[in-house]
Structures are given as structure tokens and as C-alpha cells.
Structure 1
Amino acid sequence: MWQNKIQSLLETFGAFIILNILWLLFCLPVVTIFPATITLFSIVRGWSKDGIDYQITKQFLSEFKENWKRYFWMGLTWLASGFILFVYYYFVLSLQIPGKSVFIGLLFISTFLYIGMTIYCFSLSVHFELSHLTVIKNAFFLSIGRIGSTIFSIFIVLLIVLLSYFFSLFFWISGSVAAYAIYSIISKRNAEIWFKGESELTEPNG
């Protein structure tokens, strides 16, 4: 019995490694980060519902092809927003300007919203059939209105980054584990929305 459990554990660990490596490879061109991450979330969503499907490479390639077509421009917008935020960081932290504390406060809020909306965008996109604009709108409202889920998810991301930094082996499953944990947290903590369909998201409640 214990041998079967060990084998199952090793197979699960291997699946997360393979998925993580595929995700990293498809993120390398940079402009593909968004569709690659959508694909990552789509696969872990299936795993959370139906268990692990070990046809990982075939599934990833197939879904990435579809997500590349659908989310390429949304991904470029996301990257551009991140770049603007980075430039804002540089100027606010490096320059001596009047009222700097106010700008730092705005920087903190902007960063929180950017990360929170990113987390919700991925989860919403793989669970609902929504337009890009509706995804972004709901990601904004949910990141604020469901702030507990947002903070918890950001904490998970930071924890996994730290674990990857201090334990290099963990890096090889960091992305897939993070996606699985985040999707599970958001879907369970927002179950009343998650399992009622798109109609619950057309006019988000605070």
C-alpha cells in the first residue's frame, strides 16, 4: 500500500515538474508570457476538477495554440502596463520630489491592484467564457471587493518566490504549484460566484 502511495506521489511531483518546465519554456520569448500562463492555469483548473491528466505536453501545446490567438494582444497590454509600473517605481524611488510619500502610497496601491488583477484575470479567463474587457473589469472589482482572497493569493505567490530562492529544487515546480494553489484559493473562496456561471460576473458586486 505505501509503495502505491509513494508511486502516486512521485507521479504527481513529476507532472508538476513537466508542466512547470513547459510553462517556463513557452515564457522565454517574453511576449508569450500571458498566453503561456493562461494555458498553465487552464491545465491546473482541469487537475483541480478531474485529477491529473498525464498527457501534459500534448495538452499544453494544443491549448497554447488557442490561447496564443486569443490572448496575445491582451498579453501585450498586460506587459506594457507592467513596464509603465516599473518606470513609475524607478522615478518615485530614485528622485527627490515634493510629496514623495503620497507617490509611494499610490505606487503601493497600483502594485497591489496590478498583481491582484493579474491573479484574477488568469483564473477568470480559464473558468468563464468572457470578453477581455469583461475579464479586466471583473478582475478589478474582485481584487478589491474580495480583498481577503487577493491578499491570500499574493501571500502564496510571495511564499513560493521565497521558497524558490532559498531552495533551488522548488524552482522547478514553483509556477505550476503557484497556479494550482491560486486557482484553488480563488475558486473556493468565491464559490458562490464560481459555480453560478457568467451571469454572476456581468455586474460584479463589491
Structure 2
Amino acid sequence: MEFKGAMGGIYRLTEWITRFAGANLLWVLCASPFFFFTIVKILVLGQGMTNESLQMNWAIAVVAPFTFFPATAALFGVVRKWVMGDPDVPVFKTFFAGYKDNFKQSMLGGIFYTILFVVMYLDYTVYMTQFQNLQLIGIIMLILLLLLGVSMFNFFSMVVHYHMSIGLIIKNAVLITLIRPFRVFSTLLGAGLVTYIGAQYPALFFFFIGSIIAWFAFFNFYATFTKMQEQIEKMQADQADEEGTLEEPSSESRTELK
């Protein structure tokens, strides 16, 4: 029995490794132009080629909304199934179904986020390098960049979880980020830790890093969503009880006045 249990555990672990690796590889493949320019930027920056590095920044900004964002939304569509208790969905089919269904919204959201990232990054760079007496503003811009990054996780989660207009998705993604600071911190810390490990072992980026971060981010989002739903239902129930309590005395009062 112990042997069968151990073999069953190994089999389940192998299944999960295969799922994470498969989803991650599809994500890397569909976002390959974004990753190509990112890798080139790292290489030219390491060689001190500043002008080429700036050119790569613009190339990354151009391709991100059309490659990275749709691919990441598709990845979130897969991990959403896992988090919600459906681990046996076909990864390939689920990924590309999500890619097709969410392409337009993720692309529009990608344009919005890319413009914000570019503007805020330029502001951060200018304040930190050219205005020594205004570096506090640069630090504030860095904090806002981090919050924007976390709101992007919520954005992807909402794209695959709700049927909403793109404006509402972006608005609610930002609001959830602001009103749930603990979740913001834990998501940021978890993503940072996984990214750090991936930086030590670059091969992990191709097989696990993206899918692990997506799973963790959607897990946090879904926990927040579930808690908020419970709070709303509790508030509605309390309000209904209060209305019922208020109606009875008012009826008695009117009777007595007669």
C-alpha cells in the first residue's frame, strides 16, 4: 500500500510538472518576439551599448501588446482552470482557446499598460539621473511602477474570469490592487522570488517560471475575489435583515397612531 501510494504521488507530481512545463512553453512560444528583444536588450546592455539598448526598449514596447499580453492572458486562462479545481483540462486546447477569446481585450489592455509603463519608466529615469534633488519623486514613481505591475496580474486574472468591458477590467484591476495591500505585497514578493530563482537558472524560464507566477497570481486574485463575494453576500443578508426589522416596528407604529 505504501509503495502504491508513493507511486501515485510520483505520478501526480509528474502530471503537474508536465502541465506547468507545457503551458509555460506555449506561453514562451506565443510571446517569442517579446522575449527575443528582451534577451537582445540584456546582451547589448551587458556590453555597454546604450543606444542599442534604448532601441530594444522601443522594440519591446511595440511588440508587447500584440505578443506578450495575449500569450499571458492565455496562460492565465489555463491556470484559472487549475486553481478552480479542474486540473485535467487539455493544456494545448485550453491555451489556444483562451488566446483566441481574449486576444482583443488583452491587446487593448496591453496598449494601455505599455503606454503607462513607458511614461512612468521615463519619469523614473529622468528624476533619478538628472534631478538629484528630486529623487524622492523618482522613488515614488518606482513604487507606482511596482503597483502597476501587480495590477497587471489582476488585469490578466479579470480578463479570463469575467465578461466585462476593457475599461471596467482595467478600473477594477487597479481598485483591487489598491484595496488589498496584503495581497499586493504577497503577489509582488512571490513573483520576485520566483523571478530571482529563474535568474539563477535561466532554463527554468522556458519551462516553469511564467506558469508558476501566473498560478500564484491567479490564486491570490481568486482568494481576494472569493473573500469579497462573501463580504458582499454578508452585507446583503445583513441589509435584508435590517429592512425586515425596520418594516415591522413601522407597521405597528402606524397601527397605534390610528
Shift of 1:195: 6.7
Shift of 1:169: 4.4
- CA 1:34–1:195 in 2, change beyond 3 Å: closer, same or farther? farther
1:109 to 131, 143, 148: 143
Q: Structure 1: which 5+ runs fail to align? A: 201-206
Q: Which residue of 2 aligns with 1:173?
A: 208
Q: Which residue of 2 aligns with 1:17?
A: 21
Residues 128 and 135 in structure 2, CA contact (< 8 A), matched pair in contact too: no
Q: Which residue of 1 aligns with 2:118?
A: 83
- CA 1:55–1:63 in 2, change beyond 3 Å: closer, same or farther? same
Q: Structure 2: which 5+ runs fail to align? A: 34-63, 236-258
Percent identity between the two aligned chains: 22
Between the aligned partners of 1:195 and 1:187, the Cα distance in structure 2 is 12
2:220 to 185, 193, 196: 185
Structural mapping, 1:1-206, within 5 Å: 1=4, 2-29=6-33, 30=64, 31-53=66-88, 55-95=90-130, 97=131, 99-171=133-205, 172-194=207-229
TM-score, with length taken from structure 2: 0.70
Shift of 1:194: 4.9
Shift of 1:188: 1.5
Aligned length: 197
Q: Deviations over 1:37-58 (max 9, x none)?
A: 1111111011112332352112
Q: CA RMSD in A?
A: 2.2
Residues 105 and 159 in structure 2, CA contact (< 8 A), matched pair in contact too: no
Q: Deviations over 1:93-119 (max 9, x none)?
A: 221x26323312321332132112112
Residue 102 of structure 2 aligns to a residue in which SS? helix
TM-score, with length taken from structure 1: 0.86
Between the aligned partners of 1:62 and 1:156, the Cα distance in structure 2 is 28
Would you tell me which structure has more helix in proportion to its own residues? 2
Select between 157-166 and 77-86 the one with higher mean Cα deviation. 77-86
Residues 30 and 67 in structure 2, CA contact (< 8 A), matched pair in contact too: yes
Q: Which residue of 1 aligns with 2:244?
A: none
Select between 159-168 and 99-108 the one with higher mean Cα deviation. 99-108
Between the aligned partners of 2:107 and 2:114, the Cα distance in structure 1 is 11
Between the aligned partners of 2:99 and 2:161, the Cα distance in structure 1 is 16
Residues 69 and 106 in structure 2, CA contact (< 8 A), matched pair in contact too: yes
Between the aligned partners of 1:4 and 1:131, the Cα distance in structure 2 is 44
Residues 32 and 68 in structure 1, CA contact (< 8 A), matched pair in contact too: no
Moved beyond 6 Å, runs of 4+ = none
